[in-house]
C-alpha cells in the first residue's frame, strides 16, 4: 500500500523516528557508561558524553567474569538448542502435515497447547526431571509394580538415575521442544501443493527422502528465520541455567551478566561498578547482533531467489 | 505389456461415492482420453490408477498384475500434472533426472539420459535454469521430460495443457501425439476439453457423475452418442435435443408444436406412439424445403459468423435450436423459414433414461442424403 498523502507521510516518519530513538537511547546510555571510569559513571549529575576508558572496561569485565569460558558454554547451549529446535520442529510438523493418521489433530493441539506453557510455568517439574531424567520411567515401573516384582525375584532394586544438573545436556534438552517452531513449519508445509508431494511419490521418493531433498531445501528461509530467533532466545537464557547450573564451569553469559550488575552482594555496599556492568553488556550483545546481521543477509538472498 | 484392466472400481470419500463401479480395459500402447464435465471423477479415476488415491472397491491391474496395494513407485506409471508440480529448488536437469537419482542410477548415465530427454523435448539450453525462470510451455515440457525419463509402461496425464494459452495448447497436443507415436506407451489422458479429447484419443471415455457413459473411437462417440448426456456434451455447439412423440405409423416424430419430422423406418422399432427425444447436430440441419414436401419450419433470431459457416440461433417446437449452415442463403429473422434435417443423421433417445434408441443407420443412408441434398 502506498499512501501519497503528505501529512500522513510526515506523521509516519515522526513515529518511526520516535520509535528508533526509544530503541537507541538505552543502547547509547549503555555505551556511554561502558566508556567511563568508576567516578565518572557515578557522578551527579550524570554526563551523557562518552569517556575514554571503553577498552579498559571491556578488558576488566571480560577477565572479571571469565567470559571466555561463559561464551563457549553459551555458544554450545545456543547451537544445541537451535539445531535441536529446527530438527525436532521440522520432523514433528512433517508428521503432522503429511501423514493421515487418526491422532494427528490431537497431537497438533497438544503441541499447540504447550505454546501456552512456557518453561517458566513448568520449571519446577522440569527441574525435578532434570535432576533425574529417568524418574518418570522409574515412576511408571513403580506404579505398575515392576520394581516390586524385580526386587522380589532378583533381590535387586531398580533405581534408574540420570542426573542432568550441571551438564550441557541438562541445559539444552528442556529448551529444545518448540511449539512455535513446529507451528511455523506446519504453516509453511501446508502451503506445499499436493501435486508436488504426489510428483515426488510418482518419482519414487519415500517420505524421508521427500523431507530431506524437497521440503528442507524449500524451507531454507523459514529455517534461517527460526534459527535466528531461537539463537537470540537461547543466548539470552537466564532462569533455567540459573536454576540447574551451580558449577561455574557450566555458567552462561546472561547469568554471569546478572552477577556483574551491582547490588549489595557484589559491591559489599561499596560504589556500584556500572561501567563494568555496561561493558559486560556490550560484550554479551555482540554474538546475537552478529547472528542477526549475518542471517538478515541470508533472508534477503532467500527472498531474491524466490522459487515459485 | 502394459494393458490396464479396471474392474468395478469404486471410490468413496466417507459416505459420498464419487466413482461408481467403473469397468474399462485399456490395451497396451493405446492412447485413451477420459473426458467429462468438472467433478465427474476423471482425476479420481486417474489417481487411482497412479496409486495416489486408495481404491475403495474393485480392482485395477496393470500389465496383468493387480496393483491395488502397490505404492505409486511400484506401478511403473509416470504422471504429468496440471500445474506441472516441478521441484522449485532444482534445476531443469535435476528435475528431469530426480527419478533416476532415486532409483540409484549413476551420475554419468543420469547425465546422458537427461541430455537425450532434454533434446527430445527441446530444452537442451535450459538445463541449468530453475523452473521459476521458465515459461509455462517450457515448464510443461520439463514435466513431460520428467515423466519420459523413466521410460514408464504407462503415462498418465491430468489436464496437462489446461494452463497453456490456446496456441501453445495446440502445439503441445501435437507433441504429445508425436511422443506417443515414438514411445508407444499406454497413455491415459484426462481433460475436459473435447477438441483435445477428439484429436488425441485412440479411444475416448466419456464420464458423467462417476459413471462411464460411453467408450469408443472419437468419431464413434460423435456419430453415435450413447445418451443425451454424451450428445449434448460432445460437439460444439452441442446436438439439438427436441422432445417429441413417435407417431402411430412410426414414420414421423411429432414435435411439441405439431410439426412432423420424417424418420427412417429403421428407427421406429416398436416405439410407435411413445414419447422420444429427437437429436440432430447443428451441421445436419440445412436451409430449404425438404424433398417430398414434408417441410419443417423454424424461426431464427440471430446468427454467429464463424468464417467456415454460420450458426443460426432460433426456436423449433418451443425449443432453442442451433443450425450450422455452410450455404450462403441470406438470413431471414423473425419469421418461419424452411429447414430440413438430414434423415440419416437423426438420433433417438429414451425420454426417461436418456439412452440411445437407435439412429445413424450407416453409410448407405449417408449416400442417400447426398442425393437428397442434390434434389433439394
Ligand atoms: N478429498 C476429497 N474428499 C471429498 N470429496 C472429494 C475429494 N476429492 C475429490 N472429491 C470429489 O470427488 C468428485 C470427483 O473429483 P475429481 O477431482 O475426480 O473431478 P474431475 O472430474 O477431475 O473434475 P475437474 O475437471 O474439475 O478436475 C468431485 O465431486 C469432488 O468434489
Ligand atoms: Mg481433475
Domain's final residue, options B202, B228, B254: B228
Q: Residue B373's pLDDT is what?
A: 36
Do residues B214 and B242 share a domain?
no
Residue B359: pLDDT band with limits 50, 70, 90: low
Q: Residue B242's pLDDT is what?
A: 93
Region A98-121: what's the mean pLDDT? 84
Per-residue pLDDT for A285 more than 70? yes
For the complex shown, is ipTM > 0.90? Answer: no
Residue A93: pLDDT band with limits 50, 70, 90: very high
Per-residue pLDDT for B197 more than 90? yes
Per-residue pLDDT for B177 more than 70? yes
Contact A203 B99 (CB under 8 A): yes
Region B344-370: what's the mean pLDDT? 67
Any domain includes B373: no
Cβ of B18 below 6 Å from ligand 1:
yes
* Phi and psi, residue B21, nearest 5°: 50, 70
A122's grid cell: 513448568
Identity of the residue in B51, B85, B132 whose CB atom sits nearest the CB atom of A199: B85
Kindly give, in sequence order, each residue whose CB lies less than 8 Å from that of residue A294, ignoring residues fewer than 6 positions away. Answer: none
Q: Residue B362's pLDDT is what?
A: 41
* Helix (H) / strand (E) containing A137: helix A135-144
Q: Which atom of ligand 1 is nearest to the CA of B210?
A: 14
Domains and CATH numbers, chain A: 29-44+51-307 (1.10.3720.10)
Neighbours of B38 (CB within 10 A): 7
Any domain includes B244: yes
Per-residue pLDDT for B187 more than 90? yes
Cβ of B43 below 6 Å from ligand 1:
yes
Ligand 1: residue of B9, B10, B12, B13 to mutate (most ligand atoms within 8 A of CB) is B13
Neighbours of A212 (CB within 10 A): 13
Any domain includes B252: yes
Q: Residue A161's pLDDT is what?
A: 78
For atom 9 of ligand 1, which residue has the closest CA? Answer: B44
Neighbours of B116 (CB within 10 A): 12
Average pLDDT of the residues of chain A? 85
Per-residue pLDDT for A2 more than 80? no
- Cell 532434570: give the residue: A130
**Å from CA of B303 to ligand 1 middle:** 37
Lowest model confidence (mean pLDDT) among A264-278, B33-47, B59-73, B157-171: A264-278
Residue A301: pLDDT band with limits 50, 70, 90: low
Domain's final residue, options B228, B256, B290: B228
* Cα four-point dihedral sign B264, B267, B272, B275: negative
Cβ of B192 below 6 Å from ligand 1:
yes
CA distance A68 to A57: 16
Share of chain A above pLDDT 70, in %: 93
Do residues B42 and B190 share a domain?
yes
Domain's final residue, options B203, B228, B253: B228
Cβ of B38 below 6 Å from ligand 1:
yes
CA distance B291 to B289: 6
Residue B369: pLDDT band with limits 50, 70, 90: very low
* Contact residues on chain A for B79, CB-CB shorter than 8 A: 198-199, 202
C-beta separation of A186 from A90 below 8 A: no
Q: Residue A269's pLDDT is what?
A: 58
Q: Residue B363's pLDDT is what?
A: 36
Do residues B189 and B118 share a domain?
yes
Q: Residue A133's pLDDT is what?
A: 80
Any domain includes B66: yes
Do residues B137 and B273 share a domain?
no
Cα dist. A144→A114, A158, B309 in Å? 28, 13, 88
Lowest model confidence (mean pLDDT) among A75-79, A118-122, B257-261: A118-122
Name which of B129, B79, B78, B159 is nearest A308 in CA terms.
B129
* Phi and psi, residue B334, nearest 5°: 90, -20
Region B209-215: what's the mean pLDDT? 94
**Å from CA of B38 to ligand 2 middle:** 7
A interface test, pick of B91, B98, B146 with most A CB neighbours within 10 Å: B98
State how beta strands B77-80 and B154-158 pair. parallel
Do residues B23 and B162 share a domain?
yes
Name which of A79, A46, A63, A37 is nearest A283 in CA terms.
A63
Do residues B262 and B180 share a domain?
no
Return the CATH number at B260: 2.40.50.140
Contact B52 A202 (CB under 8 A): yes
DSSP classification of residue B227: B
What chain A residue is nearest to B83 in terms of C-alpha separation?
A195
Domain span including residue B294: 237-350
Q: Which atom of ligand 1 is nearest to the CA of B41?
A: 18
Lowest model confidence (mean pLDDT) among A206-220, B54-68, B146-160, B347-361: B347-361
How many Cβ pairs closer than 8 A exist between chain A and B? 63
Per-residue pLDDT for B343 more than 90? no
Q: Residue B13's pLDDT is what?
A: 93
Which residues of B have a CB under 8 Å from any CB of A? 47, 50-52, 71-73, 77-79, 81-89, 98-99, 102-103, 130-132, 146
- As separate numbers, helices (DSSP H) first and strands (DSSP E) second, chain A gives 18, 0
Kindly give, in sequence order, each residue whose CB lies less than 8 Å from that of residue A212, ignoring residues fewer than 6 positions away. Answer: none
Do residues B313 and B192 share a domain?
no
Q: Which atom of ligand 1 is nearest to the CA of B36?
A: 21
Any domain includes B366: no
Residue B291: pLDDT band with limits 50, 70, 90: low
Q: How many domains does chain B have?
A: 2
Region A127-148: what's the mean pLDDT? 82
Average pLDDT of the residues of chain B? 88
Cβ of B39 below 6 Å from ligand 1:
yes
Do residues B188 and B100 share a domain?
yes
Helices (H), chain B: 42-50, 92-102, 107-120, 136-148, 166-183, 194-200, 218-223, 228-233, 265-268, 363-375
Do residues B283 and B215 share a domain?
no
C-beta separation of B6 from B163 below 8 A: no
Region B225-229: what's the mean pLDDT? 94
Contact B78 A202 (CB under 8 A): yes
CA distance A48 to A29: 7
For atom 20 of ligand 1, which residue has the closest CA? Answer: B39
Any domain includes B74: yes
Per-residue pLDDT for A259 more than 50? yes
Which residues of A have a CB under 8 Å from any CB of B? 193, 195-196, 198-205, 209, 214, 217-218, 306-308
Contact A307 B102 (CB under 8 A): no
Any domain includes B159: yes
Do residues B278 and B309 share a domain?
yes
Do residues B31 and B179 share a domain?
yes
* Helix (H) / strand (E) containing A241: helix A239-244
Do residues B215 and B89 share a domain?
yes
* Contact residues on chain A for B78, CB-CB shorter than 8 A: 202
- By CB atoms closer than 10 A (0-12, 13-18, 19+), residue B206 is buried
Q: Residue A270's pLDDT is what?
A: 66
Q: Residue A71's pLDDT is what?
A: 92
Per-residue pLDDT for A244 more than 50? yes
Q: Residue A27's pLDDT is what?
A: 92
Return the CATH number at B134: 3.40.50.300
Q: Which atom of ligand 1 is nearest to the CA of B159?
A: 27
* Contact residues on chain A for B89, CB-CB shorter than 8 A: 214, 217-218, 307
Identity of the residue in B52, B87, B88 whose CB atom sits nearest the CB atom of A201: B52
Any domain includes B355: no
User: pLDDT tens digit string along B22-44?
Assistant: 999 999 999 999 999 999 999 99
Q: Residue A73's pLDDT is what?
A: 93
The Cα of A40 is separated from the nearest Cα of chain B by a number of Å equal to 58
Amino acid at each position: 500500500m502506498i499512501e501519497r498523502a503528505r501529512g500522513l507521510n510526515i506523521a509516519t516518519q515522526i513515529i518511526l523516528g520516535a520509535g528508533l530513538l526509544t530503541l537507541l537511547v538505552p543502547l547509547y546510555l549503555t555505551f556511554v557508561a561502558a566508556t567511563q571510569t568508576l567516578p565518572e559513571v557515578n557522578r551527579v549529575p550524570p554526563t551523557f558524553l562518552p569517556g575514554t576508558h571503553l577498552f579498559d572496561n571491556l578488558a576488566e569485565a571480560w577477565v572479571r567474569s571469565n567470559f571466555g569460558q561463559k561464551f563457549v558454554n553459551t555458544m554450545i547451549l545456543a547451537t544445541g538448542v537451535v539445531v535441536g529446535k529446527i530438527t525436532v520442529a521440522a520432523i514433528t510438523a512433517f508428521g503432522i502435515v503429511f501423514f493421515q493418521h487418526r491422532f494427528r489433530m490431537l497431537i497438533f493441539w497438544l503441541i499447540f497447547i504447550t505454546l501456552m506453557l512456557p518453561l517458566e510455568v513448568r520449571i519446577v517439574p522440569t527441574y525435578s526431571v532434570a535432576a533425574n531424567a529417568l524418574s518418570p520411567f522409574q515412576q511408571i515401573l513403580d506404579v505398575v509394580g515392576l520394581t516390586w516384582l524385580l526386587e522380589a525375584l532378583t533381590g535387586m532394586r531398580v533405581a534408574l538415575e540420570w542426573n542432568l544438573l550441571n551438564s550441557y545436556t541438562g541445559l539444552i534438552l528442556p529448551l529444545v521442544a518448540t511449539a512455535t517452531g513446529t507451528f511455523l513449519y506446519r504453516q509453511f508445509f501446508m502451503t506445499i501443493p499436493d501435486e508436488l508431494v504426489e510428483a515426488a511419490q510418482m518419482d519414487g521418493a519415500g517420505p524421508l527422502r521427500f523431507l530431506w531433498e524437497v521440503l528442507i531445501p524449500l524451507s531454507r528461509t523459514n529455517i534461517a528465520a527460526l534459527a535466528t530467533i531461537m539463537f537470540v532466545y537461547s543466548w539470552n537464557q537466564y532462569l533455567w541455567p540459573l536454576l540447574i547450573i551451580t558449577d561455574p564451569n557450566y555458567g552462561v553469559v546472561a547469568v554471569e551478566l546478572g552477577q556483574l550488575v551491582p547490588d549489595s552482594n557484589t559491591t559489599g555496599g561499596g560504589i556500584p561498578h556500572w561501567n563494568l556492568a555496561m561493558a559486560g553488556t556490550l560484550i554479551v550483545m555482540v554474538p546475537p547482533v552478529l547472528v542477526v546481521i549475518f542471517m538478515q543477509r541470508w533472508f534477503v538472498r532467500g527472498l531474491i531467489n524466490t522459487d515459485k | 505389456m502394459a494393458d490396464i484392466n479396471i474392474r468395478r472400481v469404486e471410490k468413496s470419500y466417507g459416505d459420498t461415492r464419487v466413482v461408481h463401479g467403473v469397468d474399462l480395459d485399456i490395451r497396451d500402447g493405446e492412447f485413451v482420453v477420459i473426458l467429462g464435465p468438472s467433478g465427474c471423477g476423471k482425476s479420481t479415476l486417474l489417481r487411482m490408477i497412479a496409486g495416489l488415491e486408495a481404491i475403495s472397491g474393485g480392482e485395477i491391474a496393470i500389465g496383468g498384475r493387480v496393483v491395488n496395494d502397490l505404492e505409486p513407485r511400484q506401478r511403473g506409471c509416470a504422471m504429468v500434472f496440471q500445474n506441472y508440480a516441478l521441484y522449485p529448488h532444482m534445476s531443469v536437469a535435476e528435475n528431469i533426472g530426480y527419478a533416476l537419482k532415486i532409483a540409484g542410477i549413476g551420475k554419468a548415465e543420469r547425465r546422458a539420459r537427461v541430455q537425450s530427454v532434454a533434446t527430445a523435448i527441446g530444452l537442451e539450453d535450459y538445463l541449468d535454469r530453475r523452473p521459476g525462470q521458465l515459461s509455462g510451455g517450457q515448464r510443461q515440457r520439463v514435466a513431460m521430460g520428467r515423466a519420459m525419463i523413466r521410460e514408464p509402461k504407462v503415462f498418465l496425464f491430468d489436464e496437462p495443457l489446461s494452463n497453456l494459452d490456446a496456441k501453445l495448447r495446440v502445439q503441445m497436443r501435437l507433441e504429445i501425439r508425436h511422443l506417443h507415436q515414438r514411445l508407444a506407451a499406454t497413455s491415459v489422458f484426462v481433460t475436459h476439453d473435447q477438441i483435445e479429447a477428439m484429436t488425441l484419443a485412440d479411444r475416448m471415455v466419456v464420464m458423467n457423475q462417476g459413471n462411464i457413459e460411453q467408450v469408443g473411437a472419437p468419431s464413434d462417440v460423435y456419430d453415435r452418442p450413447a445418451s443425451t448426456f454424451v450428445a449434448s456434451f460432445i460437439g460444439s455447439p452441442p446436438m439439438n435435443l427436441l422432445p417429441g412423440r413417435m407417431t402411430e405409423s412410426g414414420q414421423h416424430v411429432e414435435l411439441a408444436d405439431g410439426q412432423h419430422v420424417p424418420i427412417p423406418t429403421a428407427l421406429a422399432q416398436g416405439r410407435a406412439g411413445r414419447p422420444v427425444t429427437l437429436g440432430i447436430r447443428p451441421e445436419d440441419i440445412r436451409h430449404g424445403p425438404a424433398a417430398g414436401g414434408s417441410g419443417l419450419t423454424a424461426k431464427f433470431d440471430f446468427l454467429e459468423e464463424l468464417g467456415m459457416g454460420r450458426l443460426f440461433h432460433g426456436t423449433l417446437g418451443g425449443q432453442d435450436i442451433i443450425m450450422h449452415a455452410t450455404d450462403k442463403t441470406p438470413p431471414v429473422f423473425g419469421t418461419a423459414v424452411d429447414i430440413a434435417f438430414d434423415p440419416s443423421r437423426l438420433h433417438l433417445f429414451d425420454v426417461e433414461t436418456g439412452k440411445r434408441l437407435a439412429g445413424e443407420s450407416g453409410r448407405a443412408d449417408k449416400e442417400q442424403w447426398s442425393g437428397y441434398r442434390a434434389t433439394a
